[in-house]
Structures are given as structure tokens and as C-alpha cells.
């Protein structure tokens, strides 16, 4: 996946890590719930944004090696 290709899907800019530097937060705007991503620490220019996808199934992790990170 080329994250440099423009699209409305900003999730393409995040990668997985069990030690992510982003987390989710539930907010309400005009009574509607939204799940947003926020950084859990200061992010330096050029630093990779990482989020824990939360997958813990051994079978799935074995078939998707990038989830081991």
C-alpha cells in the first residue's frame, strides 16, 4: 500500500505496533459518538504513527507476521 497516494482514508498513515504511540478516544459532537485517534506522546516530524490493532489470536498473528511487531 502506498501511503503517499492521496485518498480520504487517513488510516493508511498508521502502522501496527503493540507499543503504539497512538490510542483511541471516544468523543461526542452534537450528541453523536465519534472514535478518534490521538497521540499518546509527543510526535517528532517524520516519526512513524503506530497503533496497536489489538489482535491477540495466535492463529491470526501467525498468518499475518506484521502483527508480531
CA angle (48 as vertex; 29, 15 as ends), nearest 5: 70
Q: Which three cell numbers stand for residue 42?
A: 509527543
pLDDT digits (tens, 9 = 90+) for 1-58: 455 667 777 777 788 788 889 988 999 999 999 988 899 999 998 888 998 877 667 7
Report the predicted TM-score, pTM, of the whole model to 2 decimal places. Answer: 0.62
Question: What torsion do the CA atoms of 38, 41, 45, 12 make, to the nearest 10 degrees?
Answer: -40
pLDDT, residue 68, reads: 67
3-state SS, residue 35: strand
Amino acid at each position: 500500500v502506498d501511503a503517499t497516494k492521496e485518498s480520504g482514508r487517513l488510516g493508511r498513515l498508521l502502522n501496527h505496533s503493540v507499543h503504539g504511540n497512538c490510542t483511541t478516544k471516544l468523543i461526542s459532537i452534537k450528541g453523536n459518538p465519534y472514535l478518534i485517534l490521538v497521540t499518546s506522546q509527543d510526535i517528532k516530524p517524520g516519526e512513524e504513527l503506530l497503533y496497536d490493532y489489538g489482535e491477540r489470536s495466535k492463529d491470526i498473528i501467525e498468518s499475518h507476521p506484521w502483527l508480531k511487531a
